[in-house]
Amino acid sequence: MLKIKLFADGADIAGVREMAANPCISGFTTNPTLMRRAGVVDYKGFAEEMLRIVPDMPVSFEVFADDFPTMERQAMEIASWGKNVNVKIPVVNTKGEFSGKLIKRLSDARVQVNVTALMTLDQVQRVTDALNPHTAATISVFAGRIADTGRDPVLVMAKSVEIMKAKPKSELIWASPRELLNIFQAEEVGCHIITATNDILKKLRLFHKDLDLFSIETVEMFYKDAQAAGFNIAV
C-alpha cells in the first residue's frame, strides 16, 4: 500500500473524469502547456468544469503572467474559485527573477500556493523560507526534468524533504515523472505527493507483474503486429 499521495496531471476532461473516479487519486494538477495541448481556450470555463468534477480534492491552476503584480492579481482570482484550489506560482519569471516576495505575500494572505518548476536545492531553500508556517503549501520539484539532464534526482528530492521540514505545513511534489518506478522512488525518499499523467498512473496495474508472463505477452504483441501488417520473408 502506497503512502505517497498520487495526483493526476493533465487537462483532458475525459481523463479528469476517469481519474476522479479512481480511489487511488488524491488530487489534480495542470498547467498552461497541458491545457493548450488539450485544446482549452477558455481558462476560467475549463477550471470551473474541472472543479465541478473534482469538488473535494486539491486542484492546482497556474498563473500565466510574467510580471509579479499581474501574477498576484491572477493568483487572488484563481484562489477565489474554490477552497480546494491551489495556485501554481512559477519559482522564477522568464527573466529569471525569483518569485519569493510574491510567494511570501500570497502565503501570508493564506493563499495555498503550489510553487512550480523548481530544479535546484537553492530554489527549494529560498521558497521554503518564503512560506508562511501557518499556511499549507506545496513545492513542485521537477525530478523528471532533472533526470533528463543526466543527473539523478533522488538525492535532490531527499534533501528537499529535509529542507522543507522547517515548514511542516508544506508538502513536496515529485513532478514530471518519466516512469512508474519514480512513484516508488518518491515514496522511498519521503516525498508527500507525486503528480503524473494518466498514462503513467495506469501502469500501476503492472506493479509486481510476473515477468515471465510479461515476456510472453510482449512476444505475443510482436507476433500479432507482424501478422496484422502482413509481413513476409521469402525463405
Region of residue 230 (phi > 0: left; psi between -120 and 50: alpha; otherwise: beta): left
Lowest-confidence segment of 123-127, 179-183, 200-204, 210-214 by average pLDDT: 200-204
pLDDT band per the 50, 70, 90 thresholds, residue 204? confident
Range scoring the smallest mean pLDDT among 13-17, 43-47, 83-87, 202-206: 202-206
- 202 vs 212: which has the higher pLDDT: 212
Q: Does position 203 have pLDDT exceeding 80, yes or no?
A: yes
Domains of the chain: 5-207 (3.20.20.70)
Question: How far, in Å, CA of 18 to CA of 53, rounded?
Answer: 10
- Give the closest residue to 173 by CA, choosing from 117, 92, 101: 117
Mean pLDDT score, 157-161: 98
- Using alpha carbons only, what angle is made at residue 50 by residues 58 and 67, rounded to the nearest 5 degrees? 75
pTM for the full predicted model: 0.92
State percent of the chain over pLDDT 90.
94
Residue 96: what are its φ and ψ, rounded to 5°? 85, 10
- Note the pLDDT of residue 80: 98
Q: Give Cα separations from 108 to 92, 104, 113, 166 (angstroms).
A: 19, 6, 11, 16
Can you tell me the distance from the alpha carbon of 116 to that of 207, in angstroms, rounded to the nearest whole number? 29
Checking if the pLDDT of 162 tops 80, the result is: yes
Q: Give the separation between CA 63 and CA 76, rounded to whole angstroms.
A: 10
